[in-house]
Structure 1
């Protein structure tokens, strides 16, 4: 398959009924007040109408208040109208299509919370004149109708929103594409074995179904971005700062940068994320790593105070994002997109892990890859809502370091529980306490007998320790009804007669057996979004061609001194 990724005053009039200064007040029937002029003045003073020193007329304050009230009302109406227009404008920008359950369904934890899994796709489509200009390759074909998903990333946000994982699937991966039909174009397939990115030709839902089938990870939503979308987004946030390890000139994506750090906007940003010959070994694997560097920098920019507190920047970002994205119906409104952004924003950058699916060479085609060793473990960690980082943001070394049911940003190893036996069965506290330590909870976990027998099992937690209690409860299959806030500190689990045996509460569902996270990230090029000093590794191989001569990207940079750099 070809590689399509490579190839913008006068005086105011007195109102009727206002009293003229010095004019005699009239009674309701129009007759003058009794007592003459002096009595009238005295009566006026008694009503507060006297001036003393030349006071203002009685009616002027009322008039001013009326004018102010009308003005305020007008401002409120105009502001509300502008806000409503803005909201409707953004909603009108969004293009959404149905997913129809093609990605499976998430499983809720004991507290009714579910993780979020989104397939983020970068389309290579030249479906508009703008994308033809940016992507090239339309000189003979003109504007095209189909597209491939040349960027595929599964974004996983944990059920408790404490951690996230972004897993790239190389576009050169061979996979089984299921039977699909594009609800918009009507194009369909009975299914075939082929390059995974080609499934997008049958609609975004087909691409979602293909990824779900390959990985076993439920996919709730999708977000699709095209060439012009990348340009709009990078411009809206004022550029993205990236670093390259050496001079680089990718003659295919046209990225040209000197060694060091650069702020990329517009087409320069697009050239960077499209470059596959400039980084790594010149394949799509190297490109996924540089894309992770770009996205990490973009996330840090989003989270910076200056981006989300500047109304102009927020408007520009929202307008650009809603115009640039195609999403599923579940994300097809501004309100839903804001909710998603809020969920992602809750995750600290040190607990956002970027990985690339492990691959193996395809024996039938040297330019294609297959799912490699370790990939199934990586898939399992995501599907089972396991974090690939500890609470401190460090890489998880093994399953015992991350067996915490992901309900708390506090690592399981730092959570100790006092387990008390409130049953007549000997050894119940010891059995449950051992189960907790086996899952990686603190060795400070202790056992005791409850003061008296109890019928209902309870997990009591101290102030600000609810999240830790939820972690313990999920690991043991306890529901939220078993949790109780106490007045002291620490966690105390009292086992009642409703839990006579076993280490999982009857009818409950404990956290799945943790996958070996060391194996999950082995060969997956794992990094976290807080690593601001990471540079994209320029390829040392002759991966580009300049005037018919094979060169390394650094050699091509030196040979093309006359061509301006991408960020110039």
Structure 2
């Protein structure tokens, strides 16, 4: 995206004059100030003489001219009026030109100052430093050379400032702290053709393997461990990025991190965000208190809503992610509504608040790049932005934790493969509504032998993919060879071998639309020109197949950003307490009439 404000640092925009060299309004040539209309004395003392006025003043040439005009039939009055009008017109044009010149210089200078000011607000760090250059993955271009964008959005619970301590609490004994956890994690995927987007939340309670990391800023390091996914942020943003990429195999191109005070300032800057709750709610932990219905939340109230986990759903982090999706959907609608981004004052407040509030990777570390990202997001219609939550299952070893659940790998693959989860019309794809045929019985990779054939013009493709399958645990008898040139990659399986084919397709990230049943026994993969590099199928920007989409969205709580009537579901469980007495958030609301609501 071209940016007219993008100029070299340290100077004004091209073609502009610095303040200290700005042109000044010309003063009178013969006196101390410009004469006003009708100020004959000043003109006589300091004005330019009329042609033929050899002596200056009001005698000589001017007197002769007046006498001559009077002698031409009394045209003096008319001629004098025309002269006065011409003189006034010249003066008006001169003043207008000076005013316009000054406005151009001042507004250009102010714009340059604003641009530099916003750039100075931004904090940026490396996407991979301390973890490894390949730790975030790499995007694959589609057939037209376009690439999708995947951004890890993190909400930190860090109390790294006095303001964050005041908003988040918990600093009474420790004081201001030096780190925090990524209690909010969302992968924002924008398709290569900018026609659709997916936002996938990862619950903070998910148990994962954290890779070896070193925070280049603090020196904190780990050799790797198994623990909650949100804890990786303690070793730097690059460690959190690497952990998410390792879990999902989704390339992460950028990250954006915001803390408590950032949420407050940004929600204030947009004038508040409308939210709806399904019933009265008082979360005694986050302090969110709202009556049933729709409310506009600003500042601390917005933060309380986003932090509430005991107020919604079953009181776990899952309920919180659903409420956050409702909040973000509303925020997106407000951004796209008429007037929000056309009001200069509102834009200034939002830009100033956002750049102060965010920590980003160096790839987003300028106003120009953030504007480009905002423009990419703005291209996607609200009805084609799908919010989902990664599927989870209870952790067998800890009832307070979760692990990756059924369907999650397919959701990961649809995002990594740049597949849309909505139709062009904006509804859930037909796949999401379809009744899928019974799934074939899962077959372990070790029991699957694949014959891989190269149907591309790129040498060695079959050997590369066959080798990757063996490394993933497939039967070492998996072989490679050549096939006739073909455009489309196809995985063909024999009668009764659908389960084997699905195991291979899952390992390769191959959508089920590329699978077909043949008559001969065996599983054969023919690589087409749509897969010219890499060992994971790159997919395209089209819509996922019926089976893929249904699996990807199953238990993912999908919802598109245009749903204005969606309300956050208030928990019906006894998830909060007052004076040691457990109760539901609705009961807590009724028991606390003296407590101010969050939108007051």
Q: Judge same fold: TM > 0.5, yes or no.
A: yes
Number of the residue aligned with 2:225: 192
Number of the residue aligned with 1:155: 188
Please, which moves more after superposition, 556-565 or 150-159?
Answer: 556-565
Partner Cα distance (1:59, 1:542) in 2 = 84
Partner-residue secondary structure (3-state), 1:241: strand
Per-residue CA deviations over 1:508-561 (Å, capped at 9, x if unaligned) read 689639561100000100111111111111111110011100001111111111
Per-residue CA deviations over 1:445-494 (Å, capped at 9, x if unaligned) read xxxxxxxxxxxxxxxxxxxxxxxxxxxxxx99xxxxxxxxxxxxxxxxxx
Instruction: Pick the aligned partner of 2:549 from 490, 503, 517.
Output: 517
Partner Cα distance (1:236, 1:204) in 2 = 26
Per-residue CA deviations over 1:322-351 (Å, capped at 9, x if unaligned) read 111111111111111111011101111111
Given that 1:115 and 1:158 are in contact with CA atoms closer than 8 Å, whether structure 2 keeps it comes out as yes
Number of the residue aligned with 1:469: none
Instruction: Pick the aligned partner of 1:132 from 125, 150, 165.
Output: 165
* Pairs within 5 Å for 1:446-485: none
Per-residue CA deviations over 1:97-140 (Å, capped at 9, x if unaligned) read 11134311111112111100000000000000000000001111
Instruction: Pick the aligned partner of 2:43 from 14, 26, 31.
Output: 14
The alpha-carbon deviation at position 396 of structure 1 amounts to 1.9
Please, which moves more after superposition, 213-222 or 85-94?
Answer: 85-94
- CA distance 1:259–1:322, change in 2 (3 Å): same
Partner-residue secondary structure (3-state), 1:88: helix
Partner Cα distance (2:579, 2:173) in 1 = 22
Partner-residue secondary structure (3-state), 1:302: helix
- CA distance 1:343–1:15, change in 2 (3 Å): farther
Number of the residue aligned with 1:56: 83
- CA distance 1:434–1:96, change in 2 (3 Å): closer
Per-residue CA deviations over 1:78-103 (Å, capped at 9, x if unaligned) read 11111111111111111111113431
Instruction: Pick the aligned partner of 1:85 from 100, 104, 113.
Output: 113
2:599 aligned with 1:567: yes
Per-residue CA deviations over 1:349-372 (Å, capped at 9, x if unaligned) read 111000000001111111011011
Partner Cα distance (2:363, 2:553) in 1 = 30
2:425 aligned with 1:392: yes
- Compute the TM-score of the two structures, normalised by the length of structure 1: 0.75
Instruction: Pick the aligned partner of 2:371 from 314, 326, 338.
Output: 338
Partner Cα distance (2:44, 2:127) in 1 = 64
- CA distance 1:242–1:506, change in 2 (3 Å): closer
Runs (4+) of structure 1 exceeding 6 A deviation are: 431-436
Partner Cα distance (1:90, 1:381) in 2 = 36
Given that 2:489 and 2:528 are in contact with CA atoms closer than 8 Å, whether structure 1 keeps it comes out as no
- CA distance 1:138–1:508, change in 2 (3 Å): closer
Number of the residue aligned with 2:465: none
Partner Cα distance (2:530, 2:103) in 1 = 61
Partner Cα distance (1:391, 1:525) in 2 = 20
The alpha-carbon deviation at position 395 of structure 1 amounts to 1.1
Number of the residue aligned with 2:124: 96
2:315 aligned with 1:285: no
Partner-residue secondary structure (3-state), 1:531: coil
* Pairs within 5 Å for 1:39-438: 52-56=79-83, 61-100=89-128, 101=133, 102-398=135-431
- Compute the TM-score of the two structures, normalised by the length of structure 2: 0.71
Partner Cα distance (1:15, 1:228) in 2 = 66
Instruction: Pick the aligned partner of 2:575 from 543, 548, 552.
Output: 543
The alpha-carbon deviation at position 306 of structure 1 amounts to 1.9
Partner Cα distance (1:76, 1:114) in 2 = 39
Partner Cα distance (1:204, 1:14) in 2 = 71
Partner Cα distance (1:160, 1:311) in 2 = 30
- CA distance 1:15–1:342, change in 2 (3 Å): farther
Partner-residue secondary structure (3-state), 2:401: strand
Please, which moves more after superposition, 76-85 or 509-518?
Answer: 509-518
- CA distance 1:89–1:345, change in 2 (3 Å): same
The alpha-carbon deviation at position 60 of structure 1 amounts to 5.2
Partner Cα distance (2:177, 2:308) in 1 = 22
Number of the residue aligned with 1:450: none
Partner Cα distance (1:392, 1:432) in 2 = 32
Please, which moves more after superposition, 134-143 or 503-512?
Answer: 503-512
Partner-residue secondary structure (3-state), 1:107: coil
Partner-residue secondary structure (3-state), 2:155: strand
The alpha-carbon deviation at position 434 of structure 1 amounts to 11
Number of the residue aligned with 1:461: none
Partner Cα distance (2:320, 2:105) in 1 = 50
Partner Cα distance (1:508, 1:144) in 2 = 49
